[in-house]
Amino acid sequence: MAEPQAESEPLLGRPRGGRGHDCPPPGLLACSSVQVGPGALARQDLCIDQAVVFIEDAVQYRSIYHRMDARSMWLYRWYYSNLCQRTLSFTIFLILFLAFIETPSSLTRSADVRYRSLPWEPPCGLTEAVELLCLLVFVADVSVKGYLVGWSQFQKNLWLLAYLTVLAVSLVDWAVSLSLLCQEPLRMRRLLRPFFLLQNSSMMKKTLKCIRWSLPDMASVGLLLAIHLCLFTMLGMLLFTVGEKDAEPNRERLAYFRNLPEALTSLLVLLTTANNPDVMVPAYSKNRAYAIFFIVFTLIGSLFLMNLLTAIIYNQFRGYLMKSLQTSLFRRRLGTRAAYEVLSSMPGQAGATPEAVGVKPQNLLLVLQKVQMSSSHKQAIVEKVRSYNDVLLSVDEFQKLFNELDKSVIKEHPPRPQYQSPFLQTAQFLFSHHYFDYLGNVIALSNLVSICVFLVLDADVLPGNRDDFVLGILDCIFILYYVLELLLKVFALGPWGYLSYPSNVCDGLLTSILLVLEISTLAVYGFPHPRWRPETLGLLSLWDMTRLVNMLIVFRFLRVIPNMKPMAMVVSTVLGLIQNLRAFGGILVVVYYVFAIVGISLFRGTIVAPFGNSSLAPANGSVSCGSFEQLEYWANNFDDFAAALVTLWNVMVVNNWQVILDAYERYVGPWSKVYFVLWWLVSSVIWVNLFLALLLENFLHRWDPQNHEQPPAGTPEATYRMSEELMFRDILEEPGDEELTEKLRRHPHLWLCR
């Protein structure tokens, strides 16, 4: 019987050459170290609390490598409570938002240097006091994290060490700022603020690691692009030159290839096709053969090398989502396995025979009562545990119980009302049928078509000369139908049944707003009649009220999406991607924030309003066509944080970004191009391609016919919602017992012994 006994023991009870944390060091007590006596009950409570923490770690995909004594676990659960985490998230948002209020303040109506009024500048010490409170919250955060993981693990964690360094630099810079009465030329701590957002997101950290892995391959393509640019720049300088026999100056040379930096900039912008065909027209007008130069450059650079960069980044990120899900699955399995080992090592846990080792269902029920998880998952697990009665749970059975966390959450709609009358039953059947939804979609489409017809007919008519009689009558009829449809659906499904469908909630909300607006319009302006053009009364004119009603009707037309399966599949896939794309959105916020702060430091006040010009049209007709001044791009400046963000966005889109490059070269100097080109590389080249790679990864897996099909959200057919792990269950690998055991043996704060 010795061999079966060894197989039935929990794996942490097996010795491995005397190494690991199988038994506590002298002076420390583990869960099973006190079997009888007054300390047994306290040890049992400790085991229950440890199991609770491990299961909550599994639910939230958190690491289990933290302190496991009673006081530390209380602090750990408090730290990850909703109140504490929301406070930390709000603090991060608040310290980032300070950039809009601090000097230079963004609290002006316009960013245009010609019309911008003097902004309100906060007094010295106001924003600094808010910033100090935020920094103190971060000090408490890093202190709690350092205590929970232990000093030895803290020293090995580069993110925590960087967190501590950033806080130290920020506090010193804050003190320097106050000592100089907020008149310092540069605030280093503003550049460091995005780090607080980075360190608080594990997904963003993983994304940065993947970007670091992709940098060598991206650098190789970048080198090819640089060689391509330099080669064609030199060819262009040789082609578009002024010869001795030329009777007139070379317009191409003067406009785009005047010198080496200008030529390099022109071709770099052509790589983004922002100045095409402008850059080619002067030479092409002179000789059609010159078009070959620009076409070949665009084919190699834009269509080959840039797409090659996209392919390389996608190849690097092809397994990004799967690696992330695999890591999450391993953390969940490790947490539940740790909970099993803790509960199975409790005093009095053995069964009727000495060989039996497992977890009592009663103890697991005590744990589940304390665990914070969704009520549906908890209820499903509790029902399965109760079915075991007093039979000990083996490790496999224990793990299977928590597979419920990976399964879909069943969405049960409330029961429909029961009517006794046959007429009412027939009406309920008709109005709850999906054909009734189709009829509503046809009516909504008719309403949208009528709005489009009147938009076309009244395109060139001033609001004061429009006759809104017919459109007003149609709006009244359609809105009455929408209200009737809402009431009939409530009759058929019941109030709670109607609200259980997200599409109905959105539909009902818009219908209610439309009804209120229509009643307000009729109360103020009366019923529609021919030549219905009353004067403006109240807050909004009749035309404004009509526009608002029609805009809401357009939004209401989105109700057709759940009833069109291909479109519903696309929309549900996009909505499902939001969670996975949050990390990339966070990275973009960080990059925007840093570049905006650097741009303010470099270019603030360089764009100055033209003297004596306050009109929309430039007073000086001598400005060149297509220039910064002629296009009135005065709002594209770095005079405040909000304006800097918009300017960076315009450069990232690369439409007419050469205009901004040229303006800042003239107002600041040629070195300004380095800033904008670097921003283009980071945002438009690297980040956009990373975004595209992750988007393709998600779509390919979600639309793979071998995977489970995600039902469209918000439809009556969508009775359940799949988790990511269940959707990719065929691809993810279950961790083995040996791998889990080895990880548990390396836990620095957990000791289990039999």
List, as one string, the DSSP characters of 523-583: HHH-S--TT--PPP-SSS-HHHHHHHHHHHHHHHGGGGGGGSHHHHHHHHHHHHHHHHHHH
Q: Is the pLDDT of residue 633 over 50?
A: yes
Q: Pick the closest to residue 590 from 35, 205, 157 (CA basis).
A: 205
Give the fold, CATH level 3, of 422-562.
Answer: Four Helix Bundle (Hemerythrin (Met), subunit A) (1.20.120)
pLDDT of res. 692:
81
- At residue 720, φ and ψ (nearest 5 deg) are -150, 160
Mean pLDDT computed over every residue of the chain: 79
For residue 708, pLDDT beyond 80 = no
Measure Cα distances from 175 to 99, 165, 188 in Å: 18, 16, 12
- Closest by CA position to 509, among listed 559, 550, 471: 559
pLDDT score at 729: 57
Q: Which residues does 134 contact at the CB level (< 8 Å), separation at least 6? A: 91, 94, 95
Tell me which of 560 and 490 has the higher pLDDT: 490
For residue 682, is pLDDT > 70? yes
Residues 6+ apart with CB under 8 A from 608: 113, 667
- CB 236, CB 267: distance < 8 Å: yes
What is the model's pLDDT at position 299? Answer: 92
Q: At what angle do helices 565-603 and 641-653 cross, to 10 degrees?
A: 120
677: its two tokens: 């080109």
User: Tens digit of pLDDT for each residue in 33-51?
Assistant: 444 455 667 778 888 889 9
pLDDT of residue 584: 80
Q: What SS3 class is residue 245? A: coil
What integer is the mean pLDDT of 262-274?
Answer: 89
Q: By CB neighbour count within 10 A (0-12 exposed, 13-18 middle, 19+ buried), where does 537 fall? A: exposed
| pLDDT reported for residue 83 | 93
Length of the chain: 754
- Token digits for 690? 């990373």
Measuring CA to CA, which residue among 672, 654, 659 is closest to residue 627?
659
For residue 27, name the pLDDT band (cuts at 50, 70, 90).
very low
Q: For residue 155, is pLDDT > 80?
A: yes
SS3 content of the chain, % helix, strand, coil (to 5): 65, 0, 35
Inter-residue contact 279 to 273 (CB < 8 Å): no
Range of 39-53, 80-94, 116-130 with top mean pLDDT: 80-94
23 falls in which pLDDT band (50, 70, 90)?
low
Residues 54 and 164: their CA atoms lie apart, in Å, by 27
Report helix, strand or coil for 495: helix
The span from the CA of 107 to the CA of 642, in Å, is: 9
The domain ranges of the chain are 2-76+322-407+735-745, 422-562
What percent of the chain has pLDDT above 70? 76
Q: What is the DSSP string of 310-374?
A: HHHHHHHHTTHHHHHHHHHHHHHHHHHHHHHHHHHTSTT---SSTT---B-HHHHHHHHHH----
Residue 617, pLDDT > 60, answer no
Using pLDDT thresholds of 50, 70 and 90, give the confidence band for residue 145.
Answer: very high
Average pLDDT over residues 537-542: 53
Nearest to 372 by CA among 60, 734, 714, 30: 60
For residue 323, the tally of other CB atoms under 10 A from its CB is: 14
- The residue that leads in pLDDT, 215 or 667, is 667
Q: What is the DSSP string of 197-244?
A: HHHT-HHHHHHHHHHHHHHHHHHHHHHHHHHHHHHHHHHHHHHS---T
d(CA 139, CA 635): 39
pLDDT tens per residue, range 295-354 = 999 999 888 888 888 888 777 776 666 777 788 888 888 999 999 988 888 765 554 444
As a whole number, mean pLDDT of residues 384-393 equals: 85
Q: How confident is the model at residue 401 (pLDDT cuts 50, 70, 90)?
A: confident
Helix (H) or strand (E) holding 721: strand 720-721
Position 12 pLDDT exceeds 70: no
Which residues are 409's β-sheet partners?
721
Bond before 104 cis per omega within 30 degrees: yes
The phi, psi pair for 447, rounded to 5°, reads -65, -40
The answer to whether 34 and 40 are in contact (CB under 8 A) is yes
Name the one residue in this structure whose structure tokens are 């995909």.
Answer: 61
Tell me, what's the pLDDT at 348? Answer: 58
Structure tokens at 530: 């021919």
Q: What is the distance between the alpha carbons of residues 51 and 48, in angstroms, rounded to a whole number?
A: 5
Return the higher-pLDDT residue of 309 and 76.
76
Between CA 476 and CA 529 the distance in angstroms is: 12
Give the span between the Cα atoms of 163 and 149, in whole angstroms.
14
Cβ-based neighbours of 484, under 8 Å, separated by 6 or more: none
Q: Please state the rounded mean pLDDT for residues 229-233.
A: 91
Q: How many CB atoms lie within 10 A of CB 530?
A: 7
Pick the closest to residue 106 from 115, 114, 116, 96 (CA basis).
Answer: 116
Asked if pLDDT for residue 672 goes beyond 70, the answer is yes
> Which band of pLDDT confidence, cut at 50, 70 and 90, is reported for residue 395?
confident
